[in-house]
Amino acid sequence: MHQRQRLLIDVGNGRTKFGLATSETILERREHATRELSPDAVREVTRGWEFDGAVICSVVPKAVPAFREVYGPQLIELRHDTNMGIGIRYPKPESIGPDRLANAVALAHMHGAPGIVIDFGTAVTFDILSADKFYIGGVIAPGLRLMTDYLHERTALLPRVDLREPASAIGQSTEQAILAGAAIGYRGMVKGILEALKKELGSKDAHIVATGGDAEWIISGMSERIVVDPDLTLHGLRIVGNQHS
């Protein structure tokens, strides 16, 4: 028997990720620049994929009409009032980014609660799931590249750097000094936020999962026990799709 396949769409500020999935797993992945999305581009990216139905989360509202045009009523748009298998305990649920809800869904169903998701994107977001599987809020801080690009753009003498591990904490060139600030400073910020969150959650054993572009690199230099899952948001969409089968 042919297993039902679905299209998963995670629209980020820079890139849009597409996944072809069954109810259990993600089979294939593709990407496209978000600003260049159009109905034709959507059809082109998904050419050759067979699926019935699509699930989308988008942090770029103006990108969504292209998907509505292509998929019409087959499109499930993840919002705060979508059936997703977790609750929300938050004053203005409609203000929560749909990608953050997708991450919380994947955390609840694949890793457990209580838990924290760290998503390293243009911004770095922390999303918190209570022990009884309710989304209860989070933290938003500048993304790593936002920080280093801003240094370059707002100062006359500081260059734009390619992020990598610094040779030492004491930078012996301008570039090494920026790398030390980015790597060590950024990890320090992440660690400080995590400590405060775990204290408020009252759980030293919260499940912590990281996702997003710089997750692997940042987490590799930290001592905390953190799982890295680059497909976390897509898995959240897969699970939401399963609730609507």
For the annotated catalytic residues, the residue numbers are 99
CA dist 181 → 10, 144, 176, 215 (Å) = 31, 10, 9, 17
Give the 3-state DSSP-derived string for 173-200, with helices as H, strands as E and coil as C: CHHHHHHHHHHHHHHHHHHHHHHHHHHH
Q: Which two tokens stand for residue 113?
A: 């609660």
Q: Which two tokens stand for residue 8?
A: 């998963």
8 Å CB contact between 73 and 65: no
> What is the distance between the terminal CA atoms of the chain, rounded to a whole angstrom?
16
Q: Which two tokens stand for residue 150?
A: 């801003």
CA distance linking residue 124 with residue 113, whole number of Å: 21
Q: Is 143 helix (H, G, I), strand (E, B) or coil?
A: coil
Angle at 69 between CA 67 and CA 70, to 5 degrees: 65
CA distance linking residue 134 with residue 236, whole number of Å: 15
Q: Which two tokens stand for residue 125?
A: 């977001």
Helices 174-201, 144-154: axis angle to 10 degrees equals 140
CA distance linking residue 91 with residue 77, whole number of Å: 21
